[in-house]
Amino acid sequence: MSAQQTDCIFCKIIQHQIPATIIFDDSHAIAFLDVNPLASGHILVVPKDHVEQLIDLPDIIAASIGSVLPKLGRALVQVTGASGFNVLQNNGEVAGQVVPHVHFHLIPRSTDDSLGYRWNAGTYNDDQMDQLCVAYQQALL
């Protein structure tokens, strides 16, 4: 049995305590239709253990989730006929996370679907990129 949290809506779905349209279920992950889809066929892929954010996910579960994303993506393209899809994963309230149990959105896209986001790209000055690179490499040690 995976680690669950009693007041978590996704844990309740995993334990079949509340209904969901489940399209995939294996030992580490479950996938079901988002009940308020950004597009028809919008899928949520959820680890069975209650883990709040991506950074808390153990390697083995991360690997398992990673391996089902392409499979579900292929199914999404086949079933919805989408010409592309976004994989979205929100961490923390500031990033738009509403349900505090890790989940990946697979969102079908089509031309002129009016979905989108502000992509206000910036630039770096001088050696900012090199400094960031060193900081990241240190953090990864």
101 is catalytic: no
Concatenated DSSP letters of 49-115: S---SGGG--HHHHHHHHHHHHHHHHHHHHHH--SEEEEE---SGGGT--SSS--EEEEEE-TT---
**Partner from Zn ion, ligand AMP, none contacting 101, C-beta within 5 to 8 A by type:** Zn ion
DSSP conformational letter for 136: H
In whole angstroms, the minimum distance from the beta carbon of 12 to Zn ion comes to 8
Q: Does 8 bind Zn ion (CB under 5 A)?
A: yes
- Identify the active-site residue in 42, 50, 101, 103: 103
4 vs 86, beta carbon nearer Zn ion:
4
In whole angstroms, the minimum distance from the beta carbon of 112 to ligand AMP comes to 22
